[in-house]
Amino acid sequence: MPVGSSLVWFRQDLRLDDNPALQAALKTGLPIYCVFIWDETTPSFAQPGGASQWWLHQSLTKLNEALCKRGNHLLFYRGKPQDILVELIGKTNAKAVYWNRCYDMHSIERDKKIKKALLQDNIDAQSFNSHLLFEPWTIVSQTGHPYKVFTPFWKKVCLTSDAQWPRTHLAAKKIFCAESFPRSELLSDWQLVPKKPNWAKQFVNYWHPGEEGAHKRLDYFIDHGLYDYKEGRNFPAQQNVSGLSPHLHWGEIAPWRVWNALETALSRDARLSTANVENFQSELGWREFSYNLLYHFPSIPTENFRKQFDHFSWATNKKALLAWQQGQTGYPLIDAGMRQLWQMGWMHNRVRMVVGSFLVKNLRLHWHHGARWFWDTLVDADLANNSASWQWVAGCGVDAVPYFRIFNPVTQSSKFDANGEYIRRWVPELAPLDNKSIHCPWKVAPEILQKAGIVLGRNYPWPIVDHNESRLAALVAFKKLK
């Protein structure tokens, strides 16, 4: 048994560089044991969904490979974290346990109990911030209450001159380890990657999980997608999106590393405009805002923030829900987005708003259905972002979209996918239609449909609901809540 060691408990911080917990362990000079624990006590609604599990497997594999190159490796365990850590401390004679913080209520309460128990046993237990620019308890409005509106949060918190976060890159080179390691489970034993049918098989064509993949994605975005970000981000067929959300969720790159890279690029590249950079930084601000809400209002993943919505009479329509999930609603933009989600594990942000509005306002199905589907199918599924975003689009959250704002999927696709490029990619059966007809095939003359080989109701569905009629019905229903 070693004379002493440090444990680094990895969670949503799957990187070696810019990792405060790992840096703290390195400073001890003791051998380091790195551990990842699948917490089986996590509430079911917060357990990683299918697409997230696929990403987690890839990311842990990459992290383990990176550790091996530095003379260490990951230990894998499932169960109750406190019990596992106590047992591991006994096996490794650990004098310290370090981890980076999470911000959902389950993790907070769990970590407090673990820290208290370890300190009572004279084990140095410390936690750090690796996930956010601003930790939620450090932020209050001038009234002393949590921010409930994004704009003042963004302007008075994220853009203040006294905002401080690490400006230097902290590299982890040699990571000391003991001569032997306790036995652990194998990552493959967890079966995070689907087998048959392997619905995630196409993910590898779009994503490269891990710390190296995160930095390559950031570099590519700055070089190719940032120049026209403010306008280009609205057009789903264009490449003006960063694709960093899953990397940020699993902590493969620090948010301050992204922010600093943007500022550096702006100072060095005359082609970049402040407007485009600040617009993307505001997306980081929305991420911070969502975590602020999750911390101060921990019930938002399961309960309406606006309690009047508890009395709303949501519809029950399993057939409509299935059509929405499968991209068979008869509205090309909706169907394109839902099919992109299934094939990529991701969906363009503007389309997310449109498909969300369609579910809760045109179909009048509970936002929980959308949140659960996104949670299971998004590689960037994040409890804070997913919960806040669905409550936003449903109108029941803080700073929510007004009940009378109902996205028209035909107008949205005509405006933001005018040439039908996005629709043709994800709904190929409509590809033969011209740029006008492709947005609303049910209005197209029969001879044009016939020439394109489209038979509505057979190889592409009729709209499952009339937008105008369902919009008026939704306005009546939502107005009663007001």
Q: For the domain that residue 374 is a member of, what is the CATH number?
A: 1.10.579.10
In sequence order, the β-bridge partners of residue 99 are 9, 127
Per-residue confidence (pLDDT) for residue 47, from 0 to 100: 97
CATH number of the domain residue 257 falls in? 1.25.40.80
My answer on whether 248 and 275 are in the same domain is yes
Quote the CA–CA distance of 170 and 18 in Å, as a whole number.
5
My answer on whether 477 and 331 are in the same domain is yes
Per-residue confidence (pLDDT) for residue 2, from 0 to 100: 55
Confidence check: pLDDT of 225 > 80: yes
Range with the lowest mean pLDDT among 165-169, 271-275, 384-388, 435-439?
165-169
Torsion of CA 351, 462, 359, 151, to 10 degrees: 30
Question: Considering the domain boundaries, does residue 283 fall inside one?
Answer: yes
At residue 164 the predicted structure's pLDDT band, cuts being 50, 70 and 90, is: low
Confidence check: pLDDT of 180 > 90: no
Question: Considering the domain boundaries, does residue 206 fall inside one?
Answer: no
Per-residue confidence (pLDDT) for residue 162, from 0 to 100: 59
My answer on whether 285 and 354 are in the same domain is no
My answer on whether 137 and 272 are in the same domain is yes
Per-residue confidence (pLDDT) for residue 212, from 0 to 100: 97
Question: Would you name the residues annotated as active-site residues?
Answer: 283, 286, 314, 349, 367, 390
Cβ–Cβ < 8 Å for 234, 350? yes
Confidence check: pLDDT of 305 > 90: yes
Question: Considering the domain boundaries, does residue 196 fall inside one?
Answer: no
My answer on whether 92 and 63 are in the same domain is yes
Confidence check: pLDDT of 161 > 70: no
Cβ–Cβ < 8 Å for 135, 280? no
Please report, rounded to a whole number, the percentage of residues in the chain having pLDDT higher than 90.
87
Q: Which domain holds residue 164?
A: 132-168+212-296
My answer on whether 96 and 143 are in the same domain is no
Question: Considering the domain boundaries, does residue 182 fall inside one?
Answer: no
Question: Which of 129, 152, 186 delimits the end of a domain?
Answer: 129
Q: In Å, what is the CA distance from 313 to each residue of 309, 353, 393, 402?
A: 9, 22, 17, 18
My answer on whether 74 and 139 are in the same domain is no
My answer on whether 343 and 451 are in the same domain is yes
H or E element in which residue 79 lies? strand 74-79
pTM for this structure? 0.96
Quote the CA–CA distance of 82 and 99 in Å, as a whole number.
13
H or E element in which residue 6 lies? strand 5-10
- Tokens standing for residue 298: 């921990």
- Cis, peptide link before residue 197, omega less than 30° from 0: yes
My answer on whether 427 and 473 are in the same domain is yes
Quote the CA–CA distance of 159 and 273 in Å, as a whole number.
17
Range with the lowest mean pLDDT among 89-103, 137-151, 213-227, 283-297?
137-151
Question: Considering the domain boundaries, does residue 227 fall inside one?
Answer: yes
Quote the number of domains for the chain. 3
Cβ–Cβ < 8 Å for 9, 21? yes
Quote the CA–CA distance of 394 and 94 in Å, as a whole number.
48
Quote the CA–CA distance of 256 and 262 in Å, as a whole number.
10
At residue 196 the predicted structure's pLDDT band, cuts being 50, 70 and 90, is: confident
Question: Considering the domain boundaries, does residue 178 fall inside one?
Answer: no
Cβ neighbours of residue 54 under 8 Å, at least 6 residues apart?
192, 193, 194, 200, 203, 345, 379
Torsion of CA 292, 297, 298, 301, to 10 degrees: -90
Cβ–Cβ < 8 Å for 398, 387? no
Q: What is the CA radius of gyration of the chain?
A: 24
Residue 46: other Cβ atoms inside 10 A: 18
At residue 170 the predicted structure's pLDDT band, cuts being 50, 70 and 90, is: confident
Question: Considering the domain boundaries, does residue 302 fall inside one?
Answer: no
Question: Considering the domain boundaries, does residue 246 fall inside one?
Answer: yes
Cβ–Cβ < 8 Å for 233, 279? yes
My answer on whether 284 and 336 are in the same domain is no
Question: Which of 248, 273, 296 delimits the end of a domain?
Answer: 296
Per-residue confidence (pLDDT) for residue 480, from 0 to 100: 87
> SS3 letters for 111-180?
HHHHHHHHHHCCCEEEEECCCCCCCHHHCCCCCCCCCCCHHHHHHHHHCCCCCCCCCCCCCCCCCCCCCC
My answer on whether 327 and 385 are in the same domain is yes
DSSP conformation letters of 183-226:
--B-GGGG--S--SS-TTTTGGGT---SHHHHHHHHHHIIIIIS
Per-residue confidence (pLDDT) for residue 165, from 0 to 100: 73
My answer on whether 164 and 68 are in the same domain is no
**Cα(first)–Cα(last) distance of the chain, in Å?**
66
Question: Which of 273, 296, 319 delimits the end of a domain?
Answer: 296
Q: What backbone torsions phi and psi does residue 98 show, to the nearest 5 degrees?
A: -125, 140
Quote the CA–CA distance of 382 and 293 in Å, as a whole number.
13
CATH number of the domain residue 112 falls in? 3.40.50.620
Across 170-174, 270-274, 307-311, 334-338, which has the greatest mean pLDDT?
A: 334-338
At residue 375 the predicted structure's pLDDT band, cuts being 50, 70 and 90, is: very high
- Tokens standing for residue 155: 């302007």
Strand order in the sheet with 74-79: 74-79, 32-39, 5-10, 94-100, 124-128
Quote the CA–CA distance of 241 and 234 in Å, as a whole number.
9
- Tokens standing for residue 411: 């107008």
